[in-house]
Structure 1
Amino acid sequence: MSEGRGAMIDKSESSSFEDLTSAAAADEIEEAKLAEAAAEKEKLLESKTDEWQDVLGSGSLLKKIIKEGDESEGQRPKRSDICKVSYEVKIRDTGELVEKRDQVKIYLGDNEILQGLDLALTLMYQGEECLLQLAPRFAYGETGLQPGESLGLVGEDDSQKYEGPIIGPDTWLAARLELHDWTEEPEHDTLPIAERMEIGTRRRARGNWWYGRGDAQLAVQLYRRALDVLDESEGGITEPTVTGDMAPTSDALHALLEERLRVENNMAAAQLKAGAYEAALQAVTRVLTCQPKNAKALYRKSRILSAMGRNSEALAAARAAATAAPDDATVRKELQRCENRATRDRSVERRLAKRMLGTTDEAKEGSSPDKKPSRAKMLMWGSLLLSLLVGVASVLVYRYKMQSH
Structure 2
Amino acid sequence: MEAAGGEENPDALGAAAAADPGFSGHRQTTAKPVWALLEEAAQMKTEGNAFYREKNIRSAIGRYHRALLILRGLDSDVMSPVKGFGPQAPALTPEQQSLLRSTQVDCYNNLAACLLQRQNVDYARVQEYSLRVLQWQPGNVKALYRAGLATLEMGDAQTAKQYLTQACREQPNDANVRKHLQRAEEKLNRELQKEKAMYRGMFSSGVKSSSTEGVNQTNRAGEGCSLTAQPAK
State TM-score, norm by structure 2: 0.61
Per the alignment, residue 281 of structure 1 pairs with: 127
Give 1:289 deviation, angstroms: 0.9
Could you list the runs of 4 or more consecutive aligned residues of structure 1 that deviate by over 6 angstroms after TM superposition?
none
Give 1:331 deviation, angstroms: 2.4
Match of 1:259 among 83, 89, 103: 103
Match of 1:226 among 67, 78, 85: 67
Tell me, in whole angstroms, the C-alpha distance in 1 between the residues paired with 2:50 and 2:188.
Answer: 35
Counterpart contact for 2:48–2:60, Cα < 8 Å: yes
Give 1:295 deviation, angstroms: 1.3
The CA deviation string for residues 268-296 of structure 1, in whole angstroms up to 9 with x for no partner, is 23234442222222221211111111111
Give 1:217 deviation, angstroms: 3.8
Q: Secondary structure at the match of 1:292?
A: coil
Tell me, in whole angstroms, the C-alpha distance in 2 between the residues paired with 1:237 and 1:263.
Answer: 19
**Aligned 1:356-367 pairs, distance under 5 A:** 356-358=202-204
Per the alignment, residue 139 of structure 2 pairs with: 293
Per the alignment, residue 236 of structure 1 pairs with: 78
Give the AA of the match of 1:268.
A
Give 1:237 deviation, angstroms: 8.9
Q: Secondary structure at the match of 2:78?
A: coil
State TM-score, norm by structure 1: 0.37
Tell me, in whole angstroms, the C-alpha distance in 2 between the residues paired with 1:197 and 1:307.
Answer: 35
Tell me, in whole angstroms, the C-alpha distance in 2 between the residues paired with 1:261 and 1:297.
Answer: 9
Tell me, in whole angstroms, the C-alpha distance in 2 between the residues paired with 1:308 and 1:225.
Answer: 28
The CA deviation string for residues 51-93 of structure 1, in whole angstroms up to 9 with x for no partner, is xxxxxxxxxxxxxxxxxxxxxxxxxxxxxxxxxxxxxxxxxxx
- Please tell me whether residue 200 in structure 1 is matched to residue 41 in structure 2: yes
Q: Which runs of 5+ in 2 are unaligned?
A: 5-23, 81-91, 209-233
Counterpart contact for 1:237–1:257, Cα < 8 Å: no
Aligned residues: 172
Distance 1:199 1:320, change over 3 A: same
Counterpart contact for 2:105–2:133, Cα < 8 Å: yes
Per the alignment, residue 331 of structure 1 pairs with: 177
Give 1:264 deviation, angstroms: 0.9
Query: Per residue, is there more helix in 1 or in 2?
Result: 2
Distance 1:268 1:342, change over 3 A: same
**Aligned 1:4-403 pairs, distance under 5 A:** 108-110=1-3, 187-231=28-72, 232-233=74-75, 235-236=77-78, 250-274=94-118, 275-358=121-204
Tell me, in whole angstroms, the C-alpha distance in 2 between the residues paired with 1:266 and 1:306.
Answer: 20
Give the AA of the match of 1:294.
N
Tell me, in whole angstroms, the C-alpha distance in 2 between the residues paired with 1:249 and 1:342.
Answer: 47
Give the AA of the match of 2:94.
S
Counterpart contact for 1:110–1:222, Cα < 8 Å: yes
Tell me, in whole angstroms, the C-alpha distance in 1 between the residues paired with 2:199 and 2:124.
Answer: 32
Counterpart contact for 1:277–1:304, Cα < 8 Å: yes
* Greater relative contact order, per chain length (Cα 8 Å cut-off, separation 6+): 2
Distance 1:189 1:234, change over 3 A: farther
Q: Secondary structure at the match of 1:358?
A: helix
Distance 1:354 1:216, change over 3 A: farther
Tell me, in whole angstroms, the C-alpha distance in 1 between the residues paired with 2:46 and 2:183.
Answer: 31
Give the AA of the match of 1:236.
V
Per the alignment, residue 13 of structure 2 pairs with: none
Distance 1:109 1:217, change over 3 A: closer
Q: What is the root-mean-square deviation of aligned Cα atoms in Å? A: 3.1
The CA deviation string for residues 221-257 of structure 1, in whole angstroms up to 9 with x for no partner, is 221111012232364399xxxxxxxxx9512321221
Q: Secondary structure at the match of 2:3?
A: coil
Tell me, in whole angstroms, the C-alpha distance in 2 between the residues paired with 1:327 and 1:348.
Answer: 32
Give the AA of the match of 1:233.
D
Give 1 or 2 for the bigger CA radius of gyration.
Answer: 1
Tell me, in whole angstroms, the C-alpha distance in 1 between the residues paired with 2:152 and 2:104.
Answer: 25
